[in-house]
Amino acid sequence: MINTRHKIEYNPENCVGCKLCYKACFVGVITWDAENKKPVFSYVEDCEHCCYCQIVCKKGCIKVCPDFDSQSFRQSFDVYNR
């Protein structure tokens, strides 16, 4: 597991269960609670910080809060330092 304090805030209050966030996540961070028709942010440590889930949610339920000091970000930027 990658060491990160990356957070995804989810407010279910206005969620209409449209599934767009679930479909938008290409790395499978979000799973789907079929019974309650709500997204579940099950694998936040795998998040690529693309913000697609936040952008597609027209109800403003999702806020991606990257941890810029995390190991995953350092690894990403290390590529440019080689």
- Return residues touching ligand SF4 (CB under 6 A): 8, 15-21, 24-25, 27, 29-30, 39, 47-53, 56-57, 59, 61-62, 64
Q: How far is the CB of 60 from ligand SF4 (least distance, A)?
A: 8
CB count in 10 Å sphere of residue 33: 12
Nearer to ligand SF4, 14 or 74 (CB): 14
Q: How far is the CB of 43 from ligand SF4 (least distance, A)?
A: 8
Q: How far is the CB of 80 from ligand SF4 (least distance, A)?
A: 21
Q: What is the CA radius of gyration of the chain?
A: 14
Tell me if 6 sits within 8 A of 47, measured CB to CB. yes
Alpha helices, H only, the chain: 20-24, 52-56, 71-78
